[in-house]
Structure 1
Amino acid sequence: MEAKKYLEGLEYVSRTLFNQSQAMKNMAEQYRESTFARDQMAISLSILHRSLKEQGKIVMCGVGKSHKVGNKLVATMNSLSIQAVLLHPSEALHGDLGIVRDGDVLVFITASGNTPELLQLLPHVPPSVPAVLITCSKTSKLSSHPQVKSLMYAELPAHLSEDSIHGIPAPTVSTTLSLALADAAILALSELIESDVHKRRKEFSMRHPGGSIGAGLSHLNDNLRLVETDPSAQGKFFSSQVSSSSLLSLTQIQKSVTNNGSVSNSGSLDSDDEPTIEKNVLQCSKQPPNSLGIDSTLTKTLTMNQINPTDMSELCFLKYLTLYDYLVLEKEDGSKSVVRCNMLKTLYKAEFENFTGSRTWESFLLLLKDYLI
């Protein structure tokens, strides 16, 4: 009996996903066929683009779930170097309206187009600030307001509305449509601002240096290269950007090794602005040191797995380049070598970024193997 209940729930999930996908499919067809939707979107993009060209910004505004959608959209725009802020209409009426300046664009997010808080706010918005409406309603109080210059219209058929699907009007399908439509508009706006995809990727890499996304684009990030060439910036940069489980920087190793090659017997090394760095931050063989001047005491602290380039994914390789200053490699004969990650970055850039022919990761691995081993 209990299992049957969960199976029924699973069927409900499947049905909900199908209805959501149908609503998305309907919106995609709408923007291929509807003159009204296409014209309104074109006007919206022109308003937003003109504001940004004149050093204005985009002010997202909504209530409830729409406010949370606006928060995500602002984050997306900022990562694409599009100036945007989030404004709550209730807070705006208590002083936050000061964030809106001449030249800005106000973007209202409301499925119904009749949200009272937005209607109360609009009379207090400077007449010089145009408003764009993201909505699921073609006709509404806000859509007919003279200060609302255009719509980003996400049509939601009655049979696919939340009330029809769930029996309650909880914002789900409408927020999905609003978010998807706004995301599409933001990406289009990004291309209008900069048509060169390589320049957009480079800019994005500098706005999004963290996580696997940042690792995948680290070879484009000038800020990382700046840190490599400025020793005074390395300690502060890596102490704030890299977790304690990453490799020690080459600068820290050099500071820890004295002129006669001896190393502090403590289990961790001092950094510029942290008292200690956690033990075992590298996985390394505890074999006697070679001519590189890495003392055996230090080697025990730096424990590092042997890296096999033929088994390394491109994402893993780029993560190494982002997180680490150098790699300590154990060769088959038991000797070790230190490889500067900035050298690997140069190699990668030379092969992929500046290579005009076709180049695959597999072919690069062969070159990498010769370089590392």
Structure 2
Amino acid sequence: MSYELIRQLALGSVNQTLTNQAEALDKLDQQYQTSEFSQKQLLQSLDILYKTVSPGNNGKIVVLGIGKSYKIATKILSTLNSLSLHSHVLHPSEALHGDLGVLKDQDCLMLLSASGNTPELIQLLPHISSEIPVILLTCSKDSKLSNHPQVKSLLYAELPTHLKEDTIHGVPAPTISTTLSLALADATVLALSEMLEADVLKRKKMFSMKHPGGSIGSDLSHLNDNLLLKASNRGEDEVSNQKASCSSQASSNSLFSLNNLKQALATKSSDTSYNPDSNGSSLASSDDEYSEKRVSIDSNLSNEIQKSQSYQINVDEFSKISEIGLLKLITLYEFIILENPESSSIRQKFKLQILQEYIPEKFVTELMKDFKKVKLT
């Protein structure tokens, strides 16, 4: 057999495996839309998980598996941790040699076994307190574990006979069964997180706090309070000076004519207090903190603005405001906030800075290049 023919056969094998995986997932989707048994077992499992990690109980989800199922268990644990759901992974062999000490009566167990006949898990159950509910994630609803009296509910991923690994490949290496198990586990964990917190923005913010690294962390960096606080502390002294300067400027400018005000703003652009190229001030949005000059994001200043008398106006309205109108605003309000619809570009620049070494001065310098002057007429 030529090597080229071997390559073509390998390509066909990959395509067939992907087709089989897709078919198995499609059948899993149909199963949970039509099977009352699967739906009932899923809801019972969610009830157990919810009760375990709810604030009144403060238990944890302990995931167990061996072999490939242990690898799936570690992935489930990682997802639970990222969603701030108290959890632990346990190897059944280690559990029998002392690690059972991590279990408390308020916890629950999630056992992973595609066949439902894993000897190590069967041997473990007699040593588990009857107070601890057990959930079984399996591809078989008729097995030793699925029929065990300590197992309270199933997360059942049906694997049709024609899609079993030994039927497809001739070798029972876990592939489709692990795909189904992971897909069902992920769906269940995400549903649990939604049951505990319905507000998607709160879940997203919580996730950003637990996942600050990598591309995911950088995409959510504008929601991470730890990161915002760190940036704030770096420029605390500068912000104090800046706030004092802004307050002084607001008081004195109310006495200027419009021409004098323009001249004052131009003069301020040469020091650290103000820059007219910055659209007049900072940029605010529902999920972004803001500041001026060398401090990129300052939650303290943002909080101060929110507590004080402030007036919001967009760039077009500000450019058309009359002299009397502007002086009135300066007199009546401590802060004037210029709104800009291009806040996404600021988040993108901040994300790129987080991926690299975060230098506030560099971030602001790059940011100022995109700001446009607001012309007062």
TM-score range, shorter chain: 0.5 to 0.7
Report what 1:319 is aligned to.
352
Pairing of 1:222-371 with structure 2 (within 5 A)? 222-231=225-234, 315=348, 317-321=350-354, 323=356, 324-328=358-362, 338=365, 368-370=370-372
Judge conservation of contact 2:83–2:193 (CA < 8 Å) in 1: yes
Q: Matched residues in 2 for 1:327 and 1:3: separation?
A: 57
Distance 1:3 1:58 in 2: 50
CA 1:137–1:313: 2 relative to 1, 3 Å: farther
Give per-residue Cα distances to partners, 1:283-302, cap 9 Å, x unaligned. Answer: xxxxxxxx789xxxxxxxxx
Amino acid at match of 2:16: R
- With normalisation by structure 2, the TM-score equals 0.67
Match of 1:125 in 2: 128
8 A contact 2:222–2:347 mirrored in 1: no
1:328 partner letter: K
- Aligned with residue 196 of structure 1, among 188, 192, 199: 199
Distance 1:134 1:157 in 2: 16
Q: Which residue of 1 aligns with 2:306?
A: none
| Alpha-carbon shift at residue 315 of structure 1 (Å) | 4.6
- Quick one: which amino acid aligns to residue 129 of structure 1? I
Q: Does 1:183 align with 2:224?
A: no
Partner of 2:108: 105
Alpha-carbon distance between aligned partners in 1 of 2:18 and 2:209, rounded to the nearest angstrom: 36
Report SS of the residue matched to 1:107.
Answer: strand
Task: Compare CA radii of gyration and give the structure with the larger one.
Answer: 2
Q: 1:97, 1:368 → 2: CA distance?
A: 59
The TM-score, its normalising length taken from structure 1, stands at 0.67
1:221 aligned onto 2:224:
yes
Matched residue type, 2:116: G
8 A Cα contact 1:41 1:152, kept in partner: yes
Letter in 1 for 2:22: S
5+ residue gaps, structure 1: 234-249, 251-290, 294-308, 330-336, 345-366
Distance in 2 (CA, whole Å) between partners of 1:143 and 1:164 is 23
- The alpha carbon displacement at 1:368 in A equals 4.6
Could you say which residue in structure 1 is the equivalent of 2:42?
41
Q: Is the 8 A contact 1:109 1:133 kept in 2?
A: yes
Paired positions, count: 271
Q: Deviations over 1:209-245 (max 9, x none)?
A: 0111011111111001111222499xxxxxxxxxxxx
In 2: Cα distance, 1:183 partner to 1:35 partner = 20
Q: CA deviation at 1:321?
A: 4.9
Contact 1:162/1:173 (8 A) holds in 2: yes
- Give the partner amino acid of 1:136: C
Corresponding residue for 1:83? 86
Q: Would the aligned equivalents of 2:214 and 2:355 in 1 still touch at CA under 8 Å?
A: no
Distance 1:195 1:176 in 2: 28
The CA deviation string for residues 301-324 of structure 1, in whole angstroms up to 9 with x for no partner, is: xxxxxxxx9xx7965652325652
* 2:22 aligned residue: 21
Percent of pairs identical after alignment?
Answer: 51
2:6 maps to 5
Counterpart residue type for residue 8 of structure 2: L
8 Å CA contact 1:111–1:136 kept in 2: the answer is yes
Cα contact 1:215–1:315 (8 A) shared by 2: no
1:115 aligns with 2:149: no
Which secondary structure state, in structure 1, belongs to the residue aligned with residue 63 of structure 2?
strand
- Partner secondary structure for residue 112 of structure 1: coil
Q: Is the 8 A contact 1:218 1:322 kept in 2?
A: no
For residue 4 of structure 1, report the CA deviation from its aligned partner.
Answer: 1.8
Counterpart among 67, 70, 74 of residue 70 in structure 2: 67
